[in-house]
C-alpha cells in the first residue's frame, strides 16, 4: 500500500479538484482505496486496466474500445432520459428502463474489464513461477 495513488494517477486532469497523491493516500491509503472503489468504481477499474496495458505494452482490441464506447453512449442516453423526465413526466418509465439498461451494461463492461486484468496478471505471474521439484535419494 506504500505505492498506492488514487486511480493510479491516470485520472489526473480530468477532475481539477482531485489529483492523485493529494487525496490523503500517504496518511490513510486503506481509506482512500475504499473510497475510490465505492465512489469512483469506473475510474478505478479503467485506471487499473490502463496501468496493466501500459506496464506490459498491450494494445486494446478494437472490440474493447467499441464496447466501452457503447457503454458510454448508453450511460449518456440514460442521463438525458432522466433529465428529460423531470420536464416531461411521460418519460418517467422510459428513464427507469434506460437506467436499468445502463446499470446492466455498466456492470457487464466493468466485469469484463476486471476479468481481463485478472487473467493478464495471472498469466504474467505464471511466467515467473518456479515449478516444485522433488529430490530423489541416491
Residue 73 has phi, psi (to 5 degrees) of -65, -40
Output the pLDDT for position 21: 72
| Count of CB atoms situated within 10 Å of the CB of 104 | 11
Looking up cell 474493447 gives 64
Per-residue pLDDT at 80 exceeds 90: yes
Give the mean pLDDT of 60-74.
Answer: 94
Average pLDDT, whole number, for the chain? 87
Output the pLDDT for position 94: 95
75 backbone φψ class: left, alpha, beta (φ>0; ψ -120 to 50) = alpha
Give the mean pLDDT of 60-89.
Answer: 95
Per-residue pLDDT at 134 exceeds 70: no
Output the pLDDT for position 86: 96
Output the pLDDT for position 138: 62
Tell me the per-residue pLDDT of 5-51, one tens digit each, with 9 for 90 and over: 888 888 887 766 667 777 777 788 888 888 888 988 898 899 999 99
Amino acid at each position: 500500500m506504500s505505492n498506492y495513488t488514487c486511480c493510479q494517477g491516470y485520472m489526473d486532469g480530468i477532475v481539477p479538484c482531485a489529483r492523485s497523491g493529494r487525496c490523503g493516500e500517504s496518511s490513510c491509503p486503506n481509506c482512500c482505496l475504499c473510497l475510490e472503489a465505492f465512489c469512483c468504481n469506473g475510474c478505478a477499474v479503467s485506471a487499473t486496466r490502463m496501468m496493466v496495458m501500459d506496464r506490459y505494452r498491450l494494445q486494446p482490441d478494437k472490440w474493447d474500445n467499441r464496447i466501452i464506447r457503447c457503454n458510454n453512449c448508453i450511460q449518456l442516453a440514460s442521463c438525458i432520459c432522466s433529465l428529460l423526465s423531470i420536464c416531461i413526466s411521460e418519460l418517467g418509465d422510459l428513464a427507469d428502463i434506460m437506467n436499468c439498461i445502463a446499470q446492466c451494461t455498466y456492470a457487464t463492461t466493468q466485469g469484463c474489464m476486471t476479468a481481463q486484468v485478472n487473467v493478464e496478471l495471472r498469466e504474467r505471474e505464471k511466467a515467473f513461477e518456479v515449478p516444485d521439484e522433488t529430490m530423489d535419494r541416491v
